[in-house]
Amino acid sequence: MVQAGNVVIADTAGGPIDVGYAKGMVTAKNSGGPIQVGSASGARCESANGAIHLTSVGGSLKASTAMGSIIARFQTQPVAESFLSTGAGDITVWIPSN
């Protein structure tokens, strides 16, 4: 698990990507595994074959996977456009009511 005080960029051909906390934007690309982000100010995640789970996103979000589900929980109301897409899986989004 990665914890960073700024931007995180991760790219792998297989295996999981797990970012626990990042003060900046998380950019993660994975050809064969899941992506998990605990807390970040924004995220750009792409997986060819794996789920994407974002626990606490504070800014814009772009997440896409060819096979797998996407679960995204915003910590505040999104202030920028977000895009979520999956070819085979569910998309679940939590947005605070306030």
Kindly report, residue by residue over 14-55, the tens digit of the pLDDT. Answer: 899 999 999 999 999 999 999 999 999 999 999 999 999 999
More confident residue, 50 or 5: 50
The pLDDT score that the predictor gives to residue 61 is 93
Retrieve residue 7's tokens. Answer: 């931007």
* Residue that is written with structure tokens 């931007």 in the block: 7
Q: Who's near 97: CB < 8 A, 6+ residues apart? A: none
Other residues' Cβ atoms within 10 Å of the Cβ of residue 45: 29
